[in-house]
């Protein structure tokens, strides 16, 4: 009973952070599954996390689609090329020793924290149009981002959003919405790869998703109340990510 409750609570924490701050929150999924829920195998934690991240992204994708914040042509090209990268990344990740994978994951968390601290206010072209020139930038950027997402078993929103902004000159609002297409695709591709290898705990993933849905709704409600303090919340969360990364590295080296 306790592990089930902890899986729901873990999902709720990730959903709360995602609802409050957007991309980057899913980076907590793997550490929570390892150190709170108690999954012992790093690869199983990554595979289970990928299922939960994909489901959470799909739910949020529907919300953003209703708001019209998705640039579909750019998002689809990025997602397709990135899914191929996610397959390659997942294959590499499954072949890497668990301790080394944790160390790499800790470095990725540092990248998330830095990305969140550097996130700037809205800029870019609000009416960006898909073109060959933009496609030529989206394809390699999507592939590289997908590979990182597949390797670490995370949605990769902290990489996808800046990737879409740099490749297509999107606004932050459209990049966040469009990123969910890629997060869903990357997560599903990674999850399928790990599931094929028997590295997913489906019952834990289901409980995590339930908690994430509840936490996401709570986070969205709090987000509107704490909108004026979002910058401070982001900085606090970034510091928490750095501390978690240090703990993961210590556990991997211990």
The range of the structural domain enclosing residue 20 comes to 2-253
The reported pLDDT for the residue numbered 6 is: 95
Domain count, the chain: 1
Q: If we measure between CA atoms, which residue out of 254, 191, 210, 215 comes closest to residue 7?
A: 210
pTM: 0.83
**Consecutive 10-residue runs of the chain (254 residues): their mean pLDDT?**
91 80 74 94 94 84 82 95 95 92 87 74 76 94 91 75 86 82 90 96 95 83 69 76 89 84
Q: What is the reported pLDDT for 198?
A: 97
Model confidence pLDDT, tens digit, residues 102-119:
898 888 888 877 876 776
Predicted pLDDT of residue 44: 96
């Amino acid at each position: 009973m306790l592990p089930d409750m902890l899986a729901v609570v873990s999902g709720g924490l990730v959903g709360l952070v995602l609802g409050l701050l957007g991309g980057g929150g899913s980076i907590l999924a793997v550490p929570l599954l390892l150190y709170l829920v108690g999954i012992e195998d790093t690869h199983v934690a990554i595979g289970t996390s990928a299922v939960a991240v994909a489901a959470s992204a799909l739910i949020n994708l529907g919300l953003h689609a209703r708001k019209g914040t998705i640039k579909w042509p750019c998002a689809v090209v990025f997602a397709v090329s990135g899914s191929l990268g996610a397959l390659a990344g997942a294959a590499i990740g499954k072949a890497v020793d668990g301790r080394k994978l944790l160390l790499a994951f800790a470095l990725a968390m540092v990248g998330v924290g830095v990305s969140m601290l550097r996130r700037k206010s809205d800029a870019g072209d609000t009416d960006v149009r898909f073109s060959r020139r933009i496609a030529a930038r989206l394809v390699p950027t999507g592939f590289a981002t997908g590979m990182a997402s597949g390797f670490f078993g995370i949605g990769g929103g902290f990489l996808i959003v800046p990737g879409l902004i740099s490749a297509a000159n999107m606004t932050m609002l459209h990049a966040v919405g469009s990123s969910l297409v890629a997060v869903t695709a990357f997560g599903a591709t990674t999850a399928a790869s790990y599931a094929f290898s028997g590295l997913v705990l489906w019952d834990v993933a289901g409980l995590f998703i339930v908690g994430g849905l509840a936490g996401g709704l709570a986070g969205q409600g709090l987000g509107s109340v704490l909108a004026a303090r979002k910058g401070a919340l982001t900085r606090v969360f970034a510091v928490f990510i750095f501390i978690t990364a240090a703990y993961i590295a210590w556990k991997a080296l211990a």
